[in-house]
Structure 1
């Protein structure tokens, strides 16, 4: 009935947002946001704070591309969201960060879990990592609504408003690309995390591995003189899959072009590969 009188289901007057140009559109067109377990966990945690109904108001804004920009730093997210007024609204989301002593406890616990540390150093998020935080009396994700401080320059009295909620949803998709963002929001960036994990004392080794003896023939050890490039580098050829390394690195942050970033990059790699081979081996080598 509220829609008949020009009001939405939350008691706010209906108004259409100004169409945004070049905004960040969500990957999700319908249904849930986020694909990885940690992205889904982010939304699950927020909904657990009994703000699910208010969160839902931001879905259409996220899908329409009304969020113009998002900046993420330690414990803080700032964004500009185009609403129904000509001037975009300023959104700020502050997440309670863990103290240095708290992070020391977490890193010490992670250091004792060799598999977890190895996965993190490889850029992966272990699914049981929340248990490590729980063991030291902490939480990876915000534990209560008070761990989040949000503000928007819009006139809406509710918090989160639809502009804040839209940023929440887009953050979940950015977690898919970079799981370390949740660490950044809790006060420890990716470089600092991996650096401190990498400097941790190695786990004790029960028995050393046998070392393969060096070849006694000097010419074999150092390689015969006049070794060809193909021999020293192995088979040099154009990759079957364009932009394979870029695909391993993942998508570009908040890329929302009409063509997916890696799909747009692949033709460039495909045209650059033959040129690179010419430079390395010479045009005649490819013709052979």
Structure 2
């Protein structure tokens, strides 16, 4: 009998309204953050999303009804006006469910993780590779509200923020949105697991050396007595040996993919990424230390936590790690992408040109004006309007920014935001020529 013919959960779950909690975040898990990213990247008006976040924090979202294809709640304005609010999500087809469930039983640990209210990131990645997007992406959250807005309004945004909290507690809610309840899914997974285990048992005719008492075993490493180690430690060579050469590549940290479950709330992928990033940075610094003349060069300034988070984001390929780094520094994903772009043009000074809106003193401003006059002395000077250390060319989408280090950084206005458009130059004319007017 197919599991879909069995008794199933009522295809709706009701979650009570949450009390106001202004200090609490909305997502702790990577899938909760992915849900919020789908909202924040899709909404055309970021102000509406910010209002929705405040609504959710204030307890304006009533009881949330979750069912296949959508969620519903009554959301109240500050004046008490109630609005029926819906967010629709595409359900999976039967073929998509088959592919997802086959993937879930194919890897050891996936089912156990789901039953422990965890979504293995590898399962989501494998499903996406098979054409099944478990988590919503840009445009996948379809807002509906009786307030009359056609895009995300504060009410639908508040409902999405509250939903992120529910997903943190129970990822089966996401699967319910996609079309199936928890009891039905558990039954289907058990059935498929039993079938797969039976097939494997029939085809497995080999011998497991770990359980075969006759199988040869490697001798144990007896080690070195501690007394011998301490005795040889007193012997000093006449001269130190030469420094070892630089390895061709950074070392590979040990994998954390073991049979022992990680501690609660430990993001194994993030720890492995940080270990690999540390190895790469150690290799880079060792290469600098072994280079001729290193002792004569000035030491580079230490990075701040915000700067180092951008450096790590440049190296991170996993969107969950990038999202966590952005959140840890108080940046949105869009802000972090701009920061990464700025870092690519000039590392920490390039990032400072993006985020440090400083005001030059009189001496620095006088030098800047002299540099501008000299840069355009032989031709028609552009009309530049200054605000603090930023000069915007009238009638164009170009801007020059003066860094505290004295270099000029070109910027271009796109989609309502100023974005870095190239590396810095020692004079404003070179910087402006590197980014011709559109």
TM range (shorter): 0.5 to 0.7
| Deviation of 1:50 (Å) | 4.7
Q: Which runs of 5+ in 1 are unaligned?
A: 1-21, 211-247, 249-288
50 and 67 in structure 1: CA distance in 2 versus 1, 3 angstrom threshold? closer
User: Per the alignment, do residues 110 and 166 of structure 1 end up closer, same or farther by CA in structure 2, a change over 3 Å counting?
Assistant: same
Q: Does 1:112 align with 2:79?
A: no
Query: Given the alignment of the two structures, is residue 162 of structure 1 paired with residue 147 of structure 2, yes or no?
Result: no
Q: TM-score, normalised by structure 2?
A: 0.39
Does residue 1:182 correspond to 2:171, yes or no? Answer: no
Is the contact made by 2:43 and 2:151 (CA closer than 8 Å) also made in structure 1?
no
What does residue 222 of structure 2 align with? none
How far apart in 2 are the matches of 1:84 and 1:25? 15
Aligned partner of 1:197 in structure 2 is 189
Say whether residues 1:41 and 2:34 are aligned partners.
yes
Q: Provide the residue aligned with 2:93 in structure 1.
A: 99
Unaligned runs of 5+ in 2: 1-15, 212-263, 265-438
Task: Please state how far the C-alpha of 1:176 moved relative to its aligned partner.
Answer: 1.2
Q: Distance in 2 between matches of 1:154 and 1:115?
A: 45
Whether contact under 8 Å (2:21, 2:58) holds in the other structure is no
In 1, Cα distance between the equivalents of 2:129 and 2:72?
Answer: 32
Q: TM-score, normalised by structure 1?
A: 0.58
- For the 8 Å contact 2:113–2:119, the answer to whether it is kept is yes
Give distance in 2, aligned partners of 1:160 and 1:48: 11
Contact 1:25/1:65 (8 A) holds in 2: yes
- Between the aligned partners of 1:61 and 1:117, the Cα distance in structure 2 is 36
Deviations 1:3-45 (A, max 9, x none): xxxxxxxxxxxxxxxxxxx952365626x52111111121122
State the Cα deviation string for residues 36-86 of structure 1 (Å, max 9, x = none): 111112112222325471322201111111112211111210100112555
Decide whether the 8 Å contact of 1:26 with 1:173 is kept in 2. Answer: no
Determine which structure has more spread, i.e. the larger CA radius of gyration: 2
Q: Which residue of 2 aligns with 1:150?
A: 143
Matches of 2:76 and 2:43, distance apart in 1: 26
* Alignment-derived partner of residue 256 in structure 1: none
- Offset, 1:187: 1.4
Q: Over aligned residue pairs, what C-alpha RMSD do you find? A: 2.7
Q: CA deviation at 1:158?
A: 5.1
SS of equivalent to 1:119: helix
How many residues of Structure 1 are paired with residues of Structure 2 in the alignment?
A: 187
Displacement after TM superposition at 1:179 (Å): 1.3
Tell me how far apart the structure 1 counterparts of residues 85 and 31 of structure 2 sit (CA, whole Å): 23
Query: Is residue 124–residue 134 contact of structure 2 (8 Å, CA) maintained in 1?
Result: yes
Query: Is residue 70–residue 77 contact of structure 1 (8 Å, CA) maintained in 2?
Result: yes
Q: Secondary structure at the match of 1:114?
A: coil
Q: Is the 8 A contact 1:69 1:81 kept in 2?
A: no
Q: 1:44 to 1:26 in 2, by over 3 A?
A: farther
Asked if 1:138 corresponds to 2:132, the answer is yes
Contact 1:120 1:194 in 2 (8 A): no
SS of structure 1 residue aligned to 2:28: coil
- Larger RCO: 1 or 2 (CA < 8 Å, sep 6+): 1
Cα distance, 1:137–1:202 mapped onto 2, change above 3 Å = same
Equivalent residues of 1:58, 1:162 under 8 A apart: yes
